[in-house]
Amino acid sequence: MIPDSIAEISASQVPGDLMAILPFLVAVAGGLVVIIVDLLMRPKASRQALGILSLLFLVLMILACLVDVGKPPEMAFSDLVVADDFSRFLGVIFAVAAALSALTAIGRLPDEGAARGEFYALLLFATGGACLLAQATDLISMFIGLECLSIPAYILAASLRRDPRSAEAGFKYFILGAFATGFLVYGIALLYGAAGSTQLKEIARLCATQPWTGNLMLIVGALLVLVGLLFKIAAVPFHMWAPDVYQGSPTPATAFFATAVKAAAFAALLRVLFMALPDMRTGTAGYEDAGWAGLLTVIAILTMSVANLIALVQNDVKRLLAYSSIAHAGYLIIGLLCNQEGAAAILFYLAAYTFMTVGAFALVAYFEHKSGGTSMTEYVGLGRRHPVAAVALCILLFSLAGIPPTAGFFSKFYLFRAAVNEGFIVLTVVAVLNSVVSAYYYLRVTVAMYMEDETQEKKPAVKASFAIALAVGICVLFVLLMGVHPTPYLDAARSSVLSLF
Amino acid sequence: MLGYEAVILLLAIAGTIAVVFVGLSRFLGPRNLNEEKTTPYECGVPPSGTARERFPVRYYIVAMLFIIFDIEVVFLYPWARLFRELGMVGFVEMILFMLVLLVGLVYAWRKGALEWE
């Protein structure tokens, strides 16, 4: 029999609970409003207005995150979620990534025959799921957030209904994503079995009170949860799906996958590793490498090296950017090993990475529309035909390669500095060598745009879409701003990670 | 094993009865097969064609809609059981939940997911 007090407690807590997940609620309400407005519109009418409507909700979501910045962490829904600066910082990243993807979609999708209302509604639902994932302090709410993010993402991948590659992307993403979710759920079940609770802090308490090395259920559970999350960030050896999915999906959706989905999975990784499993970082004396630190070192090196080497031989710019995003996940994993400073570097990196990657994909979408393909040969001579867009792509690619004075330079700098301070010298050397390698393929695109001779006839220049121009403009602006004056962003990242430790 | 003897005994008896009865009718019963007896049972309608056919994709849409509202009912039962204890908060939350599903239904309806032709 349920006591009467439950009703009283829940009634008095509901407003506070709902305020704690306000960004999530704004995103989901936005998705529902987009669906309803879509029904009220004539079937043949342009759906660009829905894109603008979703932008409005994403701006509201950013405000909902920013308005509470600095407030102490606040638990809600019986400690299932927390509203802290960490989740607010990431909430802004998700909303910005979704807004820039929506802008790209407004400019791009009508040409692809995918200009339906669902695209924006699903984008908003996925953004809401990402927010919930970043707020989760319990494995169950984390799982709900991850599914709420992933399922709309699977549909977004397949949203070019007439394109077999898009269908393949959606199907592959769905099957492999469901498989990874299976790993995650098994892991959650085993962690629950070991700790008797799905609360992250209860699992941490178990690890702190008894040695974890003999607890097989705990170890296997933690490993399975890690596998599930590493799949979502596309770390090697769980990266196989990423190139096909990123290439086959409509480019605005790809931009969202490469940024918001990845950032959300990193948020979950940070929460799980630092809030639930801090004591499993290293093994017992004599076996220091046996913890997750040793495991992630290997995965970081593999992810960076494999992705960068395969990217060298790509002849399709969209696929090249897919491998680039895998490589960046490799750099980001280094941050997971470097405690507080590393976590701050990850947040800064994710913010910078969002702007450079969405900007690059927006330009891929723009050129794709102009010339009809994403192959490297289509980029030959773009420096002359579309001078402004080509310069913007150069800046974004330089930033991805980590060349100053761009955001990419400082994000790598902070990350590698944190790694050196923690004593990961070899790992840092590997990472620096990898970013040198990556410069080759980023610059290859630049070389194609400016230095190779045009063999095909000149295609007529068409007027740029205002929405894409706006998205690229915002991205370039922030990439330069964060590169010239990174301090405020780094300070925000630093104060945001305090609640994790 | 303590406490499980009864269960094991029950399993053994049930298994023995099943094997013995099926085996007896297999060996003792007369068997004269004809066409009516060997065709698969399809609700009394004469079967036509092979079962391995391509289904219209609408089957899946209807099946998905069914599952959504099936799950809604699953959520409604515990809510109805605790209706008084949950009070106004529970009522408003359930109404919101059903409104969200209703938006989905209206969307599917208007987009033609329920049209069979």
Q: Which residue has the tokens 């439950």?
A: A6
pLDDT in tens, A353-395: 999 999 999 999 888 876 667 888 888 888 888 889 999 999 9
Residue B22 DSSP SS3: helix
Tokens (6 digits) for B8: 């094991």
| A7–B90 C-beta distance less than 8 A | yes
* Residue A14 touches partner B, C-beta closer than 8 Å: yes
Average pLDDT over residues A437-454: 89
Tokens (6 digits) for A80: 């299932």
Task: Give me the pLDDT at residue B87, please.
Answer: 84
Residue whose C-alpha is closest to residue A500's, from A367, A341, A305: A341
Residue whose C-alpha is closest to residue A426's, from A309, A326, A291, A294: A294
In the predicted structure, residue A8 carries a pLDDT above the cut 60: no
Alpha helix stretches (DSSP H) within A136-163: 139-157
Longest dimension (CA), chain A: 79
| B103–A36 C-beta distance less than 8 A | yes
Residue A316 DSSP SS3: strand
Q: Is the dihedral of CA A399, A228, A305, A376 positive or negative?
A: negative
* Cα nearest neighbour of A2 on chain B: B85
pLDDT in tens, B34-73: 877 777 777 777 777 777 878 787 888 888 888 888 988 9
**Total domains present in chain A:** 1
Residue whose C-alpha is closest to residue A252's, from A373, A378, A114: A114
Task: Give me the pLDDT at residue A456, please.
Answer: 61
Residue whose C-alpha is closest to residue A23's, from A145, A155, A154, A199: A145
Residues of chain A contacting residue B107, judged by C-beta atoms under 8 Å apart: 35-36, 38-39
Q: How confident is the model at residue A463 (pLDDT cuts 50, 70, 90)?
A: low
Tokens (6 digits) for A122: 């699903």
Residue whose C-alpha is closest to residue A141's, from A275, A6, A280: A275
pLDDT in tens, A115-143: 578 899 999 999 999 999 999 999 999 99
Contact A105, A156 (CB under 8 A): no
Tokens (6 digits) for A215: 């607890």
CA distance A363 to A233: 23
Tokens (6 digits) for A281: 């970082």
Residue type, A2: I
Tokens (6 digits) for A416: 């590698």
Work out the mean pLDDT of chain B and round it to a whole number: 85
What is the CB neighbour count within 10 angstroms for residue B85? 16
In the predicted structure, residue A113 carries a pLDDT above the cut 60: no
Task: Give me the pLDDT at residue A1, please.
Answer: 39
Task: Give me the pLDDT at residue A114, please.
Answer: 55
DSSP β-bridge partners for residue A316: A375
CA distance, residue B93 to nearest chain A CA (Å): 10
CA distance, residue A11 to nearest chain B CA (Å): 6
Alpha helix stretches (DSSP H) within B1-117: 5-28, 35-38, 58-81, 83-110
Residues of chain B contacting residue A29, judged by C-beta atoms under 8 Å apart: none
Tokens (6 digits) for A39: 């029904």
Residues 6+ apart with CB under 8 A from B33: none
| A32–B87 C-beta distance less than 8 A | no
CA distance B4 to A85: 54
Residue A74 DSSP SS3: strand
Tokens (6 digits) for B76: 């409604």
Asked whether the ipTM of the predicted complex exceeds the cut of 0.95, the reply is: no
The 3-class SS string of A365-377 reads HHHHHHHCCCEHH
pLDDT in tens, B88-97: 888 988 999 9
For residues A282-318, one letter each, b for 16 or more C-beta atoms within 10 angstroms of the residue's C-beta and e for the rest, the string is ebeeeeeeebbbbbbbebbbbbbbbbbebbeebebbb
A220: phi then psi, degrees, rounded to nearest 5: -65, -40
- Does residue A237 have a cis peptide bond before it, meaning omega lies within 30 degrees of 0? yes
Q: Quick one: CATH architecture of B5-110?
A: Up-down Bundle (1.20)
Average pLDDT over residues A400-424: 93
Ordered by start, the domain boundaries in chain B are 5-110
Work out the mean pLDDT of chain A and round it to a whole number: 89
Between the CA of residue A403 and those of A249, A358, A416, A419, A473, what are the distances in Å? 29, 18, 14, 19, 19
CA distance, residue B60 to nearest chain A CA (Å): 16
Is A409 domain-assigned? yes
CA distance A133 to A138: 10
Task: Give me the pLDDT at residue A199, please.
Answer: 94
| Nearest neighbour of A7 by CB, restricted to B85, B100, B106 | B85
| Nearest neighbour of A10 by CB, restricted to B89, B100, B104 | B89
CA distance A245 to A130: 19
DSSP β-bridge partners for residue A83: A74
Q: How confident is the model at residue A193 (pLDDT cuts 50, 70, 90)?
A: very high
Task: Give me the pLDDT at residue A2, please.
Answer: 45
| B110–A32 C-beta distance less than 8 A | no
| B106–A7 C-beta distance less than 8 A | no
Packed helices A339-371 and A407-421: angle between N→C axes, nearest 10 degrees: 150
Residue A214 DSSP SS3: coil
Average pLDDT over residues A10-28: 83
Domain that holds residue A323: 290-501
The 3-class SS string of A236-291 reads CCCCCHHHHHHHHCCHHHHHHHHHHHHHHHHHHHHHHHHHHCHHHCCCCCCCHHHC
Residues of chain A contacting residue B89, judged by C-beta atoms under 8 Å apart: 7, 10-11, 14
Is A366 domain-assigned? yes
Task: Give me the pLDDT at residue A370, please.
Answer: 66
CA distance A79 to A16: 12
Q: How confident is the model at residue A3 (pLDDT cuts 50, 70, 90)?
A: very low
Residue type, A476: V
Geometric angle at alpha carbon B73, from B69 and B77, rounded to 5°: 170
DSSP β-bridge partners for residue B59: none
Contact A246, A258 (CB under 8 A): yes
Q: How confident is the model at residue A453 (pLDDT cuts 50, 70, 90)?
A: confident
How many helices (H) and strands (E) are present in chain A, helices listed first?
21, 2
| B89–A2 C-beta distance less than 8 A | no
